[in-house]
Every structure is written in C-alpha cells, then in structure tokens.
Amino acid sequence: MKSDNIKGTEAWVEKINKHELPAFAATVRNLEKLADDDTASLPSLGKSVLHDQGLTTKILKVANSVTYRAGRNRVTTVSRAAVILGFDTIKHICITAKMIDSMLRNKDISENVYERLLKLLAKSFHSAMVARMLIGDRAEETQEEVYIATLLHELGEIAFWSIGGEITEKLDAALREKSGNPQDTVKEMLGTTFDQISIGLASTWNMGELLIRSIEDPGRRTPEMRAIGLASDYSKGIVNKAPRADIAKCVDGMSELADLPVRALKERLKKCTEQSVELAVSYGAKELTEYLDPNAEPEKVEQEEVFHQPDEMVQLKLLRELTQFASEGAELNLLINTTIEGLHRGVGMDRVIVFMLNQSRNKLLPRFVSCQNADRIETGFVHPLGINKTVFDESFKEHQQTWVTDPAAKEWRSRLTPAMQNLCQGLAFFVAPIMVGRKCIGLLYVDRAESQRLLKSEDFDAFRHFAGQMSLCLSTRITK
C-alpha cells in the first residue's frame, strides 16, 4: 500500500510496525518482556541482543564512554556491562541505539525532511538526558522510566519522517507554508495526529503507562510528568534556537522541580549537553551534535561495518574473562555469552550457534543464536542424533573439533544432512563439542556465511581455544 493512501492511526501504526521499523519494534518488545521477568532479565539480555552485532558494538562503545565508565576498567562484553551498569541502564542504551540506527537507516529522504528528522532525534535524545537528571534523586528504575518516556515522546512523528518518500515531502512542504494550525494540517493529510501514532506504537510495544500518560495528559503535575514536559520544552528550544526568554522560562521551572539554584542547574544542564554530544558520537550519530553544540561539525552517519576482523588482543581479554567467570562460579548463560562475544569480536566470526541437548537427549536444538535472522534458525533447525553418520554426530559422540572446508565436496556431502547444508549455506564452518568433564552436552558452531569471508587455519586454532576454554570453565563450575 502506498503511503499516500494510508489514513488513520491503526493504519499508520501497522505500516510502521510491519514495514518500516520491524527490527526496532521487536527490540523494544523483547526488552520490555525481559523487564517484567526479574529472574531472567540479566541472564537473557546478552542472548537478546547478541544476534545484532551492530547493536552489540554500540552498547560497548556507550558503556565505555566517559559518561558511564566512571573510572572502571574497560567493559568488553554485553553481559559484563549488564552486571556493572544494571538491566535498566542497558535497556535504555539498547533502545536509544536501536532507535537512532533504525530512524537514520533510510537513505530515500529529502534534505528538508532529513533536517526535520535530525532535529527531532537530537531533541529527543537531549531531553531524555535532561529529564533523567532532573529526577536524579529518585530510584534508578524511575529515572530510566522517565528517560525512555522522554526519548520516545515524539516517537510517532520521528517514525513518520524516517519513512521518507513522497508523503513526507508533501507534509513537510505543507507545514513550511505555516498557514493554519500544524496539527490540523497533519490530521488532514494522515487522518490522525503524531501523538495518536505515538500512543498506538507505545501500546503495541507495551511501553508502560508513563509514556502514554505523558502524551495524553501532559498537564499532570507529578514530578515525573513535569520532568518530561520541562525537559522536552527546553531541548526543543535549544535545538530550534528559540528566544532566550522561552528557554529561561524552562530553566526556572526546572530549577524549582530539581530544588536547585538557577546557577547550579545551568551547570548541570551544561554537563548534560556535553554528555549528549559525547554519547551521540558513541551511538554512531555524530550528525546530531550540530543541533546540540553550535561548534560541532556535522557529519553524515555511515553504517558501521558489523563484520569483525580477528583481533588477538580481544581474544586474550575475553579468554581471561572466561577464566575469571569460572573462578567466580558465574552462571551458564554468562559463560556462553562471553564465548559468543569472543568468537564474534575476537575471532571475527559472523554467525555463532550453540546447540544443546533436548530433555530426551536425542536431539540437538539451537539454544543460543547470534546472527542475522536468528529467529529462523531457532525455530527451523533440529538435528536428531544417531539417525545419520553426520559431522554433528561425530563431533558429539567422538568429541571431535571439525573444520568442514567445503560442504559441496564429496568427502563432506554424505556427512551433511539437507538441513545442515541449508544451515551452512554451502559455505565452510567449524564445529566443536561442548564438554562438561567427559560428557558432551552440546555443540558450538561458527561460520562466516554473512560476509562470505574465508576461514583460515589461525581462525580454527582460535575457535578451538575458545571451545576448549568454555568447556573447561563449565567443567570447573560444575565441580565447585
């Protein structure tokens, strides 16, 4: 359906969810689901985001920024970042990173629409930082809830402009004429308002009551609602270069809310802006900084290369971290997620899959999948043990670490089922047993099917090292 023919809140929400921002919507839903499960939040977080290596890279950059690092040693894994910073902080980092990436991904956007989008993103990001600062004396959970509600306050409008194309250019032109009420212009062309789209998206994503209340009833005088409103007005004034009197009015209101003298509040606002500029760069959105800092040089965002090159220093760091986790008695998920990150960022693998035995111990199922289209592998691959003499069976029963150099070659064809051929996409892969003592509990599989880069002998050696170290750590953990 062409965007010009879409009318009404439900239609726009459906288009954005299913056709424009499905990955962002899925990330938000998954994080909200994890947030409701106190026991599974931290262990499941690594697995939740590891399939998106671009997201993983941004999380680590932000976690190691001056704003969050605060003198700590460098964080090398998402799992460790979650332990140190807490689930709520990692959650808002994930949502911010995915939002910026998703909204700026479309290249089919006119210059005027692109400027609108950048201003809205800069305003949303900056206002979220300010709102959280304003209620810094509240519980961390409340601070993060206010951050997310402020960040996504204009979600409907941001999502609309990110679509690009003719409909966005028509609405932009109509709004630039400045004739009549802008809200009426939007409603006439879209059949709804940006606020209604925001509420619709927030509802389908289970984003909680605060975000919806802040849009439906912005005049409510709770500290959280006042923080959202004041921060949004202040950042909008900064980004759009509003008259000083308007900005000063916001500052007075924030001073009262935070119970700080105006001078002290201005110092905190200055620090907030500096942090926003630094974090925008960490999130891969340096082009936002020109709207936050007049001295910043705008720079078009380029998509980051998500395929890591082998890095022996990263390998060594993560192998050491594995050993440390084992001595601390770390849980299974943390050990496995650290291994996965080591194979991605240290060994340079595109896809990492951890197969584990089912309860009946007669099938291998993909339990940890870190790659693009991870859901398809998790739901579409089952390997029955003992039916065929395959590479997987040999690795599982005989505890072999195997390099399948060419799945199409005669020596391998008979030892790969059609499902395995489909999994590896006809390209080379490594597989190794996951051992606990003398017992095999699963298989570790890696390849470079997404980038189609060659596997080398030094890659196999590094893979074997990680597989062996993971098994050793698991065995040590069991015996403690």
Query: Which of 212-221, 289-298, 367-376 bottoms out in mean pLDDT, i.e. has the lowest?
Result: 289-298
194 shares its domain with 255: yes
Q: How far apart are CA 443 and CA 331, in angstroms?
A: 18
Long-range contacts for 181-186 (Cβ within 8 Å, ≥24 apart)?
none
CATH number, domain containing residue 396: 3.30.450.40
246 shares its domain with 347: no
List Cβ neighbours of 438 (8 Å cut-off, separation of 6 or more): none
322 shares its domain with 286: no
pLDDT band at residue 400 under the 50/70/90 scheme? very high
Whole domain around residue 270: which residue ranges? Answer: 3-291
Count of CB atoms within 10 A of residue 397's CB? Answer: 13
Residue 398 lies in a domain: yes
CATH number, domain containing residue 255: 1.10.3210.10
Q: What Rg value do the Cα atoms of the chain yield, rounded?
A: 25
Higher pLDDT, 51 or 232: 232
pLDDT band at residue 303 under the 50/70/90 scheme? very low
Query: Which of 236-240, 288-292, 373-377, 402-406 bottoms out in mean pLDDT, i.e. has the lowest?
Result: 373-377
> Across residues 185-208, what is the average pLDDT?
90
pLDDT at 39 over 60: no
pLDDT at 305: 47
List C-alpha distances in Å: 330 to 62, 79, 327, 464, 473: 24, 11, 8, 22, 9
Q: How far apart are CA 260 and CA 389, in angstroms?
A: 72
Q: How far apart are CA 344 and CA 78, in angstroms?
A: 12
253 shares its domain with 343: no
pLDDT at 141: 83
254 shares its domain with 376: no
pLDDT at 160 over 90: yes
Is the sign of the CA dihedral 266, 146, 195, 287 positive or negative?
Answer: positive
Determine contact, residues 393/386, Cβ cutoff 8 Å.
yes
Burial class (CB in 10 A: 0-12, 13-18, 19+), 71: exposed
Determine contact, residues 434/335, Cβ cutoff 8 Å.
no
Higher pLDDT, 374 or 480: 374
pLDDT of 52-93, one tens digit each?
A: 667 777 887 888 787 776 545 567 677 777 777 877 888 888
Average pLDDT score, the chain: 85
Residue 115 lies in a domain: yes
pLDDT at 307: 72
pLDDT at 302: 42
227 shares its domain with 330: no
Residue 303 lies in a domain: no
317 shares its domain with 285: no
277 shares its domain with 335: no
Residue 424 lies in a domain: yes
Residue 472 lies in a domain: yes
Higher pLDDT, 21 or 470: 470
Residue 299 lies in a domain: no
Q: Which of 231, 262, 291 is the last residue of a domain?
A: 291
Q: Which of 260, 291, 322 is the last residue of a domain?
A: 291
Residue 296 lies in a domain: no
Determine contact, residues 434/466, Cβ cutoff 8 Å.
no
Q: How far apart are CA 124 and CA 103, in angstroms?
A: 12
pLDDT at 297 over 60: no
Domain count, the chain: 2
248 shares its domain with 319: no
pLDDT of 420-454, one tens digit each?
A: 999 999 999 999 999 998 899 999 999 999 889 99
pLDDT band at residue 330 under the 50/70/90 scheme? low
280 shares its domain with 407: no
173 shares its domain with 283: yes
Per residue, the 3-state secondary structure of the chain, as one string, reads CCHHHCCCHHHHHHHHHHHHCHHHHHHHHHHHHHHCCCCCHHHHHHHHHCCCHHHHHHHHHHHCCHHHHCCCCCCCCHHHHHHHHCHHHHHHHHHHHHHHHHHCCCCCCCHHHHHHHHHHHHHHHHHHHHHHHHCCCCCHHHHHHHHHHHHCCCHHHHHHHHHCCHHHHHHHHHHHCCCCCHHHHHHHHHCCCHHHHHHHHHHHCCCCHHHHHHHHCCCCCCHHHHHHHHHHHHHHHHHCCCCHHHHHHHHHHHHHHHCCCHHHHHHHHHHHHHHHHHHHHHCCCHHHHHHCCCCCCCCCCCCCCCCCCCCHHHHHHHHHHHHHHHHHCCCHHHHHHHHHHHHHHHCCCCEEEEEEECCCCCEEEEEEEECCCHHHHHHHCCEECCCCCCHHHHHHHHCCCEEECCCCCHHHHCCCCHHHHHHHCCCCEEEEEEEECCEEEEEEEEECCCCCCCCCHHHHHHHHHHHHHHHHHHHHHHHC
Q: Which of 291, 326, 348 is the last residue of a domain?
A: 291
pLDDT at 269: 93
256 shares its domain with 148: yes
Residue 301 lies in a domain: no
